[in-house]
Amino acid sequence: MLTEFGPRVDSPAGISSIDCSTSWQQQLKEAVRSVPELLRLVNLSQDPIASRVDESPHFPLRVPLSYIRRMTPGDANDPLLLQVLPLSVERQPAQGYIDDPLQEQHHNPVPGLVHKYPGRALLITTQACAVHCRYCFRQHFPYADNRLTARQWQPALDYLRQRPDIHEIILSGGDPLSLDNKALSELITALEQIPHLTTLRLHSRTPIVLPARVDEGLVALLTQTRLKTVLVLHANHAREIDKELHPALTALRTSGTVLLNQAVFLKGINDQVDTLTELSHALFDQGVLPYYLHVLDPVARAAHFDTADDKARLIWQQLQSRLPGYLLPRLVREVPGDDHKRWINEA
């Protein structure tokens, strides 16, 4: 394994230092799926927040132990905890918050493929994620209608082959790095046979929450493909980027893969200029460039994370005065029907 980390101090009670020689698949299998168990591990079982959780959420809990270890024990406002902890407020309806806020089902020409923007298309590689973020805009996506095995890729591959205007293929999900290296290799090999494809982009939160996923086999795949490779990570707070990530991100960089990050503007988690400034610096320290800062997609059950556009714009303007241009993420929203992401300061 590429990931060899020493013990972490100040880990939540009940979590010993993880044996990082354990396979990523085993670590994923051991991810916490019980809300009471998560509260116990972070010493919050007797905290008032325990009365506000949803123990049987519509979107089930899933969070790896390696991510829980970065949470502060006893802190009910921990910014990592709040991204994954199901709360009863999710059951409160909110006007304008819907299951498919980006209308992706209108751009789903063949199973497993979303084609919204010129020049690029997105493959839904899997429904699985290493972590279930409470604000996920695809938590209601009809994965049952888009779940493909390797033998079922053909319609999507045929669609791509017939569209020479598509140069970039984006692997998403779920999370494409939930697939094992064999499945990824088969898919990448098939994509390489389409001559007009030049770039392979992966959108993945897995290296952030489960660094062990970046193993030698994955790095070899990214190194050997003829396609230019881009990995768009998803970190929202600097405390997600600890020493466990360093070997993984270093290995990804050595493969020649461009590393970018997209974050989501989340109330109570990163809606402060100091927090976002620290995030940009922490990313750059690991060789990752901030790319997008998304305002929240209005997905059902996530309204409590929303921040008014005026506040988001003001914080971004303050961020602009603090950071060099190459560390300033673009503040954007995705608007159904647009052929590009829209800057938040656009009408």
Q: What is the pLDDT of residue 221?
A: 97
pLDDT in tens, 98-154: 766 655 555 678 888 989 889 999 999 988 999 999 998 766 554 344 445 555 789
> Does the pTM of the predicted model rise above 0.85?
yes
Question: What domains are there in the chain, each with its CATH number?
Answer: 104-343 (3.20.20.70)
Q: Which pLDDT score is estimated for 103? A: 59
Is residue 209's pLDDT more than 50? Answer: yes
Residues 58, 347: Cα–Cα separation, whole Å: 34
Count of alpha carbons within 13 Å of 105, Cβ hemisphere only? 12
Mean pLDDT computed over every residue of the chain: 88
Residues 49-61 have a mean pLDDT of 94
Task: Give the torsion sign (CA, 15, 20, 24, 26).
Answer: negative
pLDDT in tens, 288-346: 999 999 998 888 888 899 998 999 999 999 999 999 999 999 999 877 666 677 888 64
Confirm if 305 and 337 have CB atoms less than 8 A apart: no
Give 16's contacts (C-beta < 8 A, 6+ positions apart): none
Which pLDDT does position 6 carry in this prediction?
30
Alpha-carbon torsion angle 4, 8, 14, 18, nearest 10:
0
Q: What is the pLDDT of residue 347?
A: 42
- In a 10 Å sphere around its CB, with 0-12 CB exposed, 13-18 middle and 19+ buried, how is residue 257 labelled? buried
pLDDT at 148: 53
pLDDT at 68: 98
Q: Is the pLDDT of residue 284 over 90?
A: yes
